């Protein structure tokens, strides 16, 4: 038996036959070219880059189905590398000046980037070199006329490899890949993120010792929880891990029992547990997990990776399909939320120094009504087939809500004149700006429901960009100010007789479940993978217990105090 230690990046235990993939990194032999061959070599490079870009567009679509739209945006970074004003032009410059083949030139540029990235302190940024290498590798494969290695296994295996690129990982068949270990890699790599999304146990950063194992038939254990690989385990160790694996399976079976049950506290208060979705692929996962509905449908995917706005009819078909599949269950469609970290080039939005505080979401509706009228028409028509609700994002004032209502009235009048069937539906807003939470009692008179968007509420309340690693220590949904704004919003809504949901990263935090029960949330919307656990966790508490913890939390003065109360109250 031999034990190797690395970094556990995707939890779970895998036991099975090992398959060693030791790519021999042979140095590409430099090929000098003549001056009259330079133009042809540059043309070959450009053609290969175009082909890779076309492949990436298709990959993003298929990846969206596998790992969700948000995670598939990893590959948008690869498109950005191809469009980088420095990357390909540097390769072209080397071909032209040094009279070498394109593969040699690519290797030189990647080596330069690798050196630069290695000197960066931030691990997240440092590991982005793997994305550059992935894109470079795809271009080189095109130039050398190599097929991408999908590693088509004939039986389920545990893969031992030098490293896996993000594109390789997402292309693998999860039914044939029990788990994997890599000599290189890190916890923040895109490969690690994809492994977690696909629920494949994985350990990375094991070192070159992993590649010295010649026997690819040995039984191997991957312990993704603890970052351990065990080669040729003894019978007792194998028995121990078989029991752990069986225990995990029993947990999954236990969670599956919540699929067709409503989430309810010990003393009978029910809370809807809905799911977030960013594309049609997410819908199937929500249905499989027994979601009580769609609590947040991000419609941006309909507008991205294309050259013009989707038509009303295109949107109508998608919205109707979701409504029909969900039957009587609610489907909350958030109207287009672009700006901030999401840009759509063909809309020609102006560059802004601080887009998160700029021209985004609802703020665009009134200057660009043609965009939103088509979407609202499609939603209203699709609502005739199911239980659809409209939700407006980025609301900060009563005036914005009233203007949004005026556009809905215009659209309804148009549909009536044209003889279309449509339904009157509930209209709600996202409470994700502190001003909206503070005047929630006023806004509650204007709408049918609230959905508290915790990701933006946290960043705007604390003035800490959630995507900025430099201020990540300031960004916390445990901050007392955030908890008080959530409580204030729920109290105001219920005083006016409307219901309140909550979404965002905080929604999936098991430690916050008693707080959500205690403040009286009516609905929680989480990703598909968190639905069953959230239902189970709600069932651990009585309302009295939850309210006692909530009262303590609303009297706290610091994040540390909140964390202490929650960790000491946990029923995990």
Contact in structure between 457 and 434 (CB atoms under 8 Å): yes
Rounded Cα distance, 503 and 102, in Å:
48
* pLDDT for the residue 151: 55
Q: CA angle, 266 as apex, 261 and 272 as ends, to 5°?
A: 40
* pLDDT for the residue 322: 93
List the catalytic residue out of 78, 477, 479, 503.
503
* pLDDT for the residue 216: 55
Mapped onto helix, strand or coil, the DSSP state of residue 291 is coil
Specify the DSSP element, H or E, that contains 105.
Answer: helix 102-118
Rounded Cα distance, 319 and 371, in Å:
16
* pLDDT for the residue 126: 67
Rounded Cα distance, 235 and 317, in Å:
56
Q: Is 387 left (phi over 0), alpha (psi -120 to 50) or beta?
A: beta
* pLDDT for the residue 43: 94
Measured in whole angstroms, the distance separating CA 142 from the mean position of its chain's CA atoms is: 30
Q: At what angle do helices 74-83 and 190-198 cross, to 10 degrees?
A: 150
Q: Is 214 left (phi over 0), alpha (psi -120 to 50) or beta?
A: alpha
Q: Where are the beta strands (DSSP E) in 206-361?
A: 219-223, 228-231, 263-264, 270-277, 294-298, 330-334
* pLDDT for the residue 272: 97
The four Cα atoms 161, 166, 168, 174 give a dihedral, to 10 degrees, of 90
* pLDDT for the residue 468: 72
Contact in structure between 144 and 110 (CB atoms under 8 Å): no
Identify which of 110, 103, 102 has the alpha carbon closest to the alpha carbon of residue 86.
Answer: 110
- CB within 8 A of 155, min separation 6: which ones? 17, 176
Give the 3-state secondary structure of 155-196.
CCEEEEECCCCHHHHHHCCCCCEEEEEECCCCCCCHHHHHHH
Regions of the chain short of the pLDDT cut 50: 25
Mapped onto helix, strand or coil, the DSSP state of residue 145 is coil
Rounded Cα distance, 291 and 288, in Å:
8
* pLDDT for the residue 377: 94
Q: CA angle, 141 as apex, 138 and 146 as ends, to 5°?
A: 135
Q: At what angle do helices 480-495 and 454-462 cross, to 10 degrees?
A: 120
List the catalytic residue out of 28, 78, 190, 477.
190
What's the burial of 205, exposed, middle or buried (CB within 10 Å: 0-12/13-18/19+)?
Answer: buried
Contact in structure between 340 and 300 (CB atoms under 8 Å): no
Two tokens, residue 494: 């219920």
Active site residue 190: yes
Measured in whole angstroms, the distance separating CA 77 from the mean position of its chain's CA atoms is: 14
DSSP secondary structure of 325-369: HHTTSEEEEEPP--BTTB--GGG-PPP-SSGGGSS-THHHHTT-H
- What would the pLDDT profile of 296-330 be if each residue is shown by its tens digit? 999 887 887 677 888 999 999 999 999 999 989 99
Q: Is 207 left (phi over 0), alpha (psi -120 to 50) or beta?
A: left
């Amino acid at each position: 038996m031999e034990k190797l230690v690395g970094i556990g990046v995707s939890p779970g235990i895998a036991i099975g036959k090992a398959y060693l993939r030791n790519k021999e990194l042979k140095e590409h032999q430099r090929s000098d070219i003549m001056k009259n061959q330079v133009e042809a070599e540059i043309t070959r490079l450009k053609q290969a880059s175009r082909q890779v870009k076309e492949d990436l567009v298709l990959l993003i679509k298929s990846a969206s189905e596998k790992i969700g739209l948000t995670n598939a945006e990893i590959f948008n970074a690869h498109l950005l590398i191809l469009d980088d004003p420095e990357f390909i032009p540097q390769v072209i410059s080397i071909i032209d000046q040094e009279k070498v083949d394109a593969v040699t030139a690519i290797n030189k540029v990647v080596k330069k980037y690798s050196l630069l990235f290695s000197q960066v302190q931030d691990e997240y940024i440092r590991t982005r070199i793997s994305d550059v290498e992935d894109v470079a590798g795809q271009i080189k494969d095109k130039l050398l006329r190599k097929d991408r290695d999908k590693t088509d296994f004939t039986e389920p295996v545990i893969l031992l490899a030098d490293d896996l690129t993000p594109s390789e990982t997402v292309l693998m068949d999860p039914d044939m890949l029990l788990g994997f270990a890599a000599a290189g890699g890190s916890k923040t790599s895109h490969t690690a993120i994809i492994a977690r999304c696909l629920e494949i146990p994985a350990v990375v950063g094991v070192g070159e010792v992993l590649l010295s194992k010649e026997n690819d038939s040995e039984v191997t254990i991957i312990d993704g929880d603890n970052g351990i690989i065990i080669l040729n385990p003894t019978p007792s160790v194998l028995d121990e891990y078989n029991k752990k694996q069986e225990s995990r399976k029993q947990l999954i079976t236990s969670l599956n029992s919540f699929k067709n049950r409503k989430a309810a506290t010990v003393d009978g208060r029910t809370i809807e547990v809905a799911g977030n979705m960013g594309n049609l692929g997410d819908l199937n996962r929500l249905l499989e997990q027994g979601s009580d509905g769609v609590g947040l449908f991000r419609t941006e995917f309909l507008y991205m990776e294309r050259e013009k706005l989707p038509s009303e009819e295109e949107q109508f078909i998608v919205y109707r399909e979701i409504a029909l599949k969900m039957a009587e269950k609610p489907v909350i469609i958030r109207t287009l939320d672009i700006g901030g970290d999401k840009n759509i080039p063909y809309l020609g939005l102006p560059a802004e120094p601080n887009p998160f505080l700029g021209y985004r979401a609802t703020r665009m509706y009134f200057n660009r009504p043609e965009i939103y009228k088509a979407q609202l028409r499609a939603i209203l028509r699709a609502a005739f087939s199911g239980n659809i609700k409209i939700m407006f994002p980025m609301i900060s004032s009563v005036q914005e809500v009233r203007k949004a209502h005026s556009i809905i009235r215009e659209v309804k009048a148009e549909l009536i004149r044209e003889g279309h069937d449509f339904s009157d539906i509930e209209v709600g807003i996202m409470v994700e700006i502190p001003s909206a939470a503070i005047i929630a009692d006023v806004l509650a008179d204007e709408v049918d429901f609230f959905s508290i968007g915790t990701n933006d509420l946290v960043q705007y309340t604390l003035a800490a960009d959630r995507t900025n690693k430099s201020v990540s220590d300031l960004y916390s949904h445990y901050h007392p100010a955030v908890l008080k704004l959530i409580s204030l919003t729920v109290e105001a809504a219920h005083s006016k007789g409307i219901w309140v949901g909550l979404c965002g990263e905080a929604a999936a935090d098991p430690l916050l479940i008693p707080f959500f029960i205690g403040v009286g949330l009516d609905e929680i919307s989480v990703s598909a993978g968190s639905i069953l656990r959230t239902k189970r966790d709600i069932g651990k508490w009585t309302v009295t217990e939850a309210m006692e913890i909530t009262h303590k939390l609303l009297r706290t003065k610091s994040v540390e105090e909140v964390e202490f109360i929650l960790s000491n109250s946990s029923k995990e």
